[in-house]
Amino acid sequence: MKYISTRNNSKEHSFEEVFIKGLADDGGLFIPKEIKKYTQEELNSLSELSYQDLAKKIIYPFIGDFMSESELSLIIDKSYSTFRKKNVVDLIKLGDTKVLELFHGPTLAFKDVAMQLLGNFYEFYLSKNSKNINIIVATSGDTGAAAIDAIKGKKNVNIFVLHPHNKVSPVQRKIMSTVKENNVFNIAIEGNFDDCQNLVKAMFADKDFSNSINMSGVNSINWARIIAQAVYYFYTYFLIKDKKSINFSVPTGNFGDVYAGYLSKKMGLPINKLIVATNKNDILHRAISTGKYEVETVFETNSPSMDIQVASNFERLIYDLNDFDDIETKDVMIKIKDEGKYIFAKNRLEKIRKDFLSESMNEEEVIETIRNIYNKYKVILDPHTAIGLGALNKINIEGDNIVLATAHPCKFPDAIDKSISIKPSLPSELQYIMDKKEYYDIVPNNVSKTKQYIKDKLK
Ligand SMILES: *Cc1c(COP(=O)(O)O)cnc(C)c1O
């Protein structure tokens, strides 16, 4: 499969380049030049596979020039052997709604599903290239943990994780900071998540710096993550027998996870609607409901992994809305950057709404949803998952409705305690982090200071 950038579709790229670079040199996002669309017959032939075998079938066409099918097979089995569920994910029922639990990996959030695979992709790549790579990633709490677990102890690769100081939950921080391997560096930035993200972008844009350290990224724009996430949409679809119309409600920040659902739909999976569920940082809900994409300041909420204003992956959808016009996509993205807003024409908004609906949830509603669900079913939802469920209930759509459960509730004990006066316990495998020594440094929200920190560590 060949890839192009959303800002230049005449130049082709290999999967290896897409994976290692993350972001295209022209500032655009990588997407496949063409996407394989499954027929109903082909879908049927996939419907009985185990999660791992399905992942092999779905992912291979995207990466065929990077490794052989048998190499991928070994890597997938290895990646998912770290999960607490044999089938990686679990689908549970809450009344008429189904909840897809994606948090049974080592760091208790859905991001493990993609990141465990990426860690092994790096190992594979570095076993064939004599290079040292430095992964630099911004996190609102979960990406960093998942990336650290996937990379720790691997040869010829270091990982630097920037998290917003005091703005991730203590459990989120401890999962990252108690890791002792010497290729792992935690940096607490004095700023918010968007500041962390901007620092990483600025370091990538500085070619002298980024080339000098072989900088690589694993943030949610990395295409490898998207394809790994598409797998659970297929898997869930096949789990549901006597299907009506299938809707997924997805707690959304950077538009990565829900974009993976959209990709699955483009690949022929008959999904009806994808519900973009946001917290009070509702830029995507405002864009989808009114056509106005307008950047506001970031609020801190009880669902910190979604406290984001600029939804990086949205550019991939904008490219489709612009009828695959790279020049126009570039113009739109520059306008958004310069003016902080963009208004979608009516026909484009209609196009968005063919696939997406949206809702947002305020903090009170999140607390109430956790309480209602606990009282009714004795199931504790984490605040992000509660947003997915609450948004779905607000929209009130017919069909088979599936909410993506993106994190284990124990990662956000304050919200749970506030809601139902219970402190959710960590799975026994992770209990040890609570009183282990933490390793992280506090760095000002400043590009040159951050670069200097990284250079010093690499000496
Ligand atoms: C990252 C994250 C999200 C948002 O996912 P995106 O792909 O950025 O939209 C939602 N919930 C949790 C728990 C997360 O960690």
- What's the confidence (pLDDT) of residue 289? 95
Indicate which residue's Cα is closest to atom 14 of ligand 1. Answer: 305
- What's the confidence (pLDDT) of residue 140? 86
Gap between the Cα atoms of 325 and 369, Å rounded: 42
> Mean pLDDT in the chain?
95
How distant is the alpha carbon of residue 8 from its chain centre? 24
- What's the confidence (pLDDT) of residue 148? 98
Please tell me the distance between residue 254's alpha carbon and the centre of ligand 1 in angstroms.
Answer: 7
Pick the CATH number of 90-108+223-420 from 1.10.260.40, 3.40.50.1400, 3.40.50.1100, 3.40.1390.10: 3.40.50.1100
In ligand 1, the atom with minimum distance to the C-alpha of 103 is 13
Instruction: Establish whether residue 406 lines the binding site of ligand 1, counting it when its CB lies within 6 angstroms of any ligand atom.
Output: yes
- pTM of the complete model: 0.95
Is a pLDDT exceeding 90 seen at residue 141?
no
Please tell me the distance between residue 96's alpha carbon and the centre of ligand 1 in angstroms.
Answer: 24
Is a pLDDT exceeding 90 seen at residue 242?
no
Instruction: Establish whether residue 384 lines the binding site of ligand 1, counting it when its CB lies within 6 angstroms of any ligand atom.
Output: yes
pLDDT band at residue 324 using 50, 70 and 90 as cut-offs: very high
Dump pLDDT digits (tens) for 165-205. Answer: 999 889 999 999 999 999 999 999 999 888 998 999 899 88
Dump pLDDT digits (tens) for 83-95. Answer: 999 999 999 999 9
For the chain, report the end-to-end CA distance as a whole number of angstroms. 39
Instruction: Establish whether residue 387 lines the binding site of ligand 1, counting it when its CB lies within 6 angstroms of any ligand atom.
Output: no
- Give residues with Cβ within 8 angstroms of 366, minimum separation 6: 279, 301, 302, 303, 383, 386, 387, 390, 415
Neighbour tally for 147: CB within 10 Å? 28
Please tell me the distance between residue 40's alpha carbon and the centre of ligand 1 in angstroms.
Answer: 30
The least confident of 117-126, 215-224, 275-284 is 215-224
In ligand 1, the atom with minimum distance to the C-alpha of 257 is 7
Please tell me the distance between residue 125's alpha carbon and the centre of ligand 1 in angstroms.
Answer: 27
Average pLDDT over residues 126-137: 94
Instruction: Establish whether residue 255 lines the binding site of ligand 1, counting it when its CB lies within 6 angstroms of any ligand atom.
Output: yes
- What's the confidence (pLDDT) of residue 205? 86
- What's the confidence (pLDDT) of residue 244? 86
Dump pLDDT digits (tens) for 385-415. Answer: 999 999 999 999 999 999 999 999 999 999 9
Instruction: Give the 3-state DSSP-derived string for the chain, with helices as H, strands as E and coil as C.
Output: CCEEECCEEEEEECHHHHHHHCECCCCCEEEECCCCCCCHHHHHHHCCCCHHHHHHHHHHHHHCCCCCHHHHHHHHHHHHCCCCCCCCCEEEEECCEEEEECCCCCCCECHHHHHHHHHHHHHHHHHHCCCCEEEEEECCCHHHHHHHHHHCCCCCEEEEEEEECCCCCHHHHHHHHCCCCCCEEEEEEECCHHHHHHHHHHHHHCHHHHHHCCEECCCCCCHHHHHHHHHHHHHHHHHCCCCCCEEEEEECCCCHHHHHHHHHHHCCCCEEEEEEEECCCCHHHHHHHHCEEECCCCCCCCCHHHCCCCCCCHHHHHHHHCCCCHHHHHHHHHHHHHHCEEECCHHHHHHHHHHEEEEECCHHHHHHHHHHHHHHHCCCCCHHHHHHHHHHHHHCCCCEEEEEECECHHHCHHHHHHHHCCCCCCCHHHHHHHHCCCCCEEEECCHHHHHHHHHHHHC
**Structural contact between residues 170 and 141, judged by C-beta atoms closer than 8 angstroms:** no
- What's the confidence (pLDDT) of residue 220? 83
Domain ranges within the chain, ordered by starting residue: 90-108+223-420
Instruction: Establish whether residue 217 lines the binding site of ligand 1, counting it when its CB lies within 6 angstroms of any ligand atom.
Output: no
User: Annotated active-site positions, please?
Assistant: 111
Instruction: Establish whether residue 111 lines the binding site of ligand 1, counting it when its CB lies within 6 angstroms of any ligand atom.
Output: yes
∠ CA 75-78-80, rounded to 5°: 105
Please tell me the distance between residue 356's alpha carbon and the centre of ligand 1 in angstroms.
Answer: 17
Tell me the residue length of the chain. Answer: 459
pLDDT band at residue 36 using 50, 70 and 90 as cut-offs: confident
Average pLDDT over residues 369-383: 98
